[in-house]
A and B are shown apart, each in its own frame.
Chain A
Amino acid sequence: MQLVLNLLVAVVIATVTGLGSAWLVIGEEWLFPTYRVGEWAAWPEGGSSTADPYSRALLARTGQLPLGSGEGIAFFAARDSEGRRIRGECDYLLYGEAPQARLWTLGLLDSAGNVPPSPTGRIFFHSREILRKPDGRFEITLSPNARPGNWLPIPEKGPLTIVMRLYDTPVANVTTGGTPAMPTIERRICR
């Protein structure tokens, strides 16, 4: 009887820790960002042949098609410069400069990883259309309400993730790319 109980304990512990931990690490999101720049994080190994087993499992589960190092790299920011979750309830000013890249695009994801609806139809900005200051720096205002200059509409509520994709960039090569200068995401007024 004692043996059966002990075995039962062992089996329960094995199942819970084994399956539970596996489920935790291969959920919907990348767990171990290898590339952090301020509030931005990237997972370049997801697009390389040296992907670890966790990255491979996540790729298989989500079916995404990550950018390879010859294409570019995607940076994600879910928090502002002070570490607060980015949400539609607030306005944000994204300012600064972009790392060296032949092209970049800037878009949004909602909590489910989808492109959120936009009242004006604008769902991204790209480097070839953006209005810049004379020194080459730029500002993008994220707000549900119309704003002058580069305005990217966001939903009125809910968590958001900002995605900046850099194409044909030395930054995509992690070992030689150095620390790129990513724009700052500053929270403005909240409603």
Chain B
Amino acid sequence: MIRLLVFALGGLILGGIIHGVTVLGVPHYAEADAWARLRTFGPGFAFNVVPRPAPDKVTIPLLDPAMIEATCEFTLNDAPVRIAASPPDTFWSLALFDRQGVNLYSMNDHGTGAKPIDLLVATVDQVAQIRENPPEDFGELLIVDWKSKKGFAVLRIFAPTPLDETEAKSAISGAQCRTRPIQP
């Protein structure tokens, strides 16, 4: 009987380990994570409009139906990525997520002082290269340090009416999310 209890206790401890491994493993094995879903909206290195949430139409869960949202997946293997956009004069926000879908950087239209969005996402090594020999046109850029090689940007523009939606979509189609070599 005592022996059975010992085995049961061992089972509980093993259960705890399985619990931990499962929870930590889910982000690596999840098939319907944001990264996978965003691929269905269009190619990487470009802002793609996410279909607006509406009755009977789900694309990404829990999006605000009052916003037009666009996403851009990027990798920093070869060079930094420059994200530039001129959203309409209304509320907008920009967020950068890592490959696992964790929101690491975010800003809104007040943060830029009514200037257009212009930022450079770069790895630590790339930032070091830029600091060593800064290209002339990098002076105005906001540089965001990126710990990994992959990520995605989400641009949300407040668009409650169809007219706002048209303006938001036109700003999105003009938005940039491209590899920007350090030495042109």
Contacts and interface: CB of A to CB of B under 8 A. Distances in A.
Nearest to A70: B106
B18 A64 contact: no
A14 B11 contact: yes
A96 interface: no
Contact of B12 (A2, A14, A117): A14
B62 A57 contact: no
B66 A18 contact: no
Contact of A59 (B13, B100, B108, B111): B100
B76 interface: no
Contact of B33 (A9, A13, A59, A163): A59
A15 B55 CA distance: 39
Contact of A115 (B37, B55, B91, B109): B55
A25 interface: yes
Contact of B54 (A54, A62, A103, A123): A123
A63 B103 contact: no
Interface size class of B (residues with CB under 8 A): 35 or more
B24 interface: yes
Q: Which of B11, B58, B108 counts the most chain A CB atoms within 10 A?
A: B11
Contacts of A68: 93, 95, 103-106
A63 B11 contact: no
A99 interface: no
A160 interface: no
A58 B159 CA distance: 28
Interface size class of A (residues with CB under 8 A): 35 or more
B72 to A, nearest CB: 12
Contacts of B61: 62-64, 113
A132 interface: no
A107 interface: yes
Contact of A17 (B16, B36, B91): B16
Interface stretch (B2-10, B78-86, B135-143, B172-180): B2-10
A176 interface: no
A95 B58 CA distance: 29
Given A22-B22, A107-B65, A13 B15 contact: yes
Contacts of A118: 55
Nearest to A167: B91
Contacts of B30: 57, 60-61, 63
Contact of A126 (B12, B32, B66): B66
Given A57-B26, A60-B101, A115-B54, A18 B19 contact: yes
Contact of B64 (A6, A14, A107): A107
15 contacts: A7-B7, A17-B15, A49-B102, A56-B102, A59-B27, A59-B33, A59-B101, A61-B32, A63-B101, A65-B34, A68-B103, A105-B66, A118-B55, A124-B64, A168-B108
Given A11-B14, A49-B103, A59-B100, 14 more contacts: A7-B7, A13-B11, A17-B19, A63-B32, A63-B101, A65-B71, A66-B103, A69-B106, A70-B108, A71-B108, A105-B67, A114-B53, A115-B55, A163-B62
